[in-house]
Amino acid sequence: MEEIFGIPTPLLFGQLLLGLINGAFYALLSLGLAVIFGMLNVINFTHGAQFMMGAFVAWMLLNYLGIGYWWALILAPLIVGLTGVILERTMIARLYKLDHLYGLLLTFGVGLIIEGLFRNEFGSSGMPYRIPPELQGAWDLGFMFMPIYRGWVVVVAIVMCLATWLVIEKTKIGSYLRAATENPALVQAFGINVPRMMTLTYGAGVALAAFAGVLAAPIYSVNPQMGANLIIIVFAVVVIGGMGSILGSVITGFGLGVVEGLTKVFYPEASSTVIFVVMAIVLLARPAGLFGRS
């Protein structure tokens, strides 16, 4: 069998593919973070908890109301996005004039409270959530079994990332948003309701996290700390990509998924640290991140 660095080639291909799949989650989550930071200048530490809420809302919809995966994919982001809107209106909006640190501390605290409440109610070992029947099964690629559901996750993540990028870069609303970030007073003078736009942007960023949560529910254990485990990596992704850069966070998300996947083959013990090593190197060479503007 052909080998690269002592690893059989088919196995390596498999790992690259798996890395891309994990990268899809990193990309989706860091996308929401980047949108929020780019527009609101708030580092949203509640993001992990909101990802978890997405998964839990999907579980609740199924178990309490009998609503399945497909509707959950639409409803859960809406419901969690609405909680984000309320959070932004009642708390975060008061902090825009203050230093970044206040927003960070507030969202950090809110995230802890949400996780604590869910842990108290649902315990820590998690809830079962099945893959929808339409997406069960796997393709035999020769070098590995590729679960259909994972393929679906990658496709949806790419579509979602593209759509978000298009909305922000190519539409009128997107141009208002970008303008409001640069000079909110001027945009407001044109008759655009900037505070409402900020609120909706935060809601949309949160909805993206919840959407990723629903996608993750059938794969990972739906438990209160599922977001806390991922969010640290996702923050590193955003920092490496360049704070607030949407394209940067998407490309970095997929790229780091692959780097992590390869580390899992060559030196698995380091697979949780490799991303931070990359972060340190990137920050030394380019303090604004790979795609950020200093």
Partner 1 sequence: MTDLNRRGLIGGAAATAAFGALPSRQARAQAANTIRIGVLNDQSGPYRDISGPYGVQCAMQAVAEFGNRGFNVEVVNADHQNRPDVGINIARQWYDQGVDVVIDVPTSSVGLAVANVAREKNKAYINTGSATSDLTGAQCSPNTIHWMYDTYMLAKSTGAAMVRAGGDSWYFITADYAFGHALERDTGNFVRSAGGRVVGSVRYPFPATTDFSSFLVQAQASRAKVIGFANAGADTINSIKQAAEFGVTRRGTKLAALLMFLPDVHSIGLETAQGLVLTESFYWDLNDRTRAFTDRMRPRMRDVVPNMASAANYSCTLHYLKAIADMGVAASKASGVEVINRMKAMPCDDDAFGAGTIRADGRKLCPSYLFEVKAPRESRGRWDYYKLVGTTPAEEAFRPLAEGNCAFLRT
- The site for partner 1 (CB under 8 A) is made up of 8, 10-11, 14-15, 18-19, 21-22, 45, 108, 112, 116, 119, 123-128, 130-131, 138, 144-145, 147, 149-150, 219-221, 223, 225-226, 228-232, 235, 261, 264-265, 268-273
- Least distance between partner 1 and beta carbon 232 (Å): 6
**DSSP letters along 64-99, please?**
HH---HHHHHHHHHHHHHHHHHHHHHHTGGGGTTS-
Is the CB of 124 or the CB of 171 nearer to partner 1?
Answer: 124
- Least distance between partner 1 and beta carbon 14 (Å): 5
- Least distance between partner 1 and beta carbon 278 (Å): 15
Is the CB of 146 or the CB of 247 nearer to partner 1?
Answer: 146
For residue 250, the tally of other CB atoms under 10 A from its CB is 28
Which residue has 């990309």 as its token pair?
27
Is the CB of 66 or the CB of 268 nearer to partner 1?
Answer: 268
- Least distance between partner 1 and beta carbon 145 (Å): 4
Is the CB of 15 or the CB of 249 nearer to partner 1?
Answer: 15
Q: How many CA atoms lie within 13 A of 180 on its CB side?
A: 24
Nearest to 213 by CA among 44, 33, 59, 21: 59
Give φ, ψ of 271 to 5 degrees.
-65, -25
CB 29 within 8 A of CB 47: yes
Which residue has 């990137």 as its token pair?
282
Is the CB of 138 or the CB of 159 nearer to partner 1?
Answer: 138
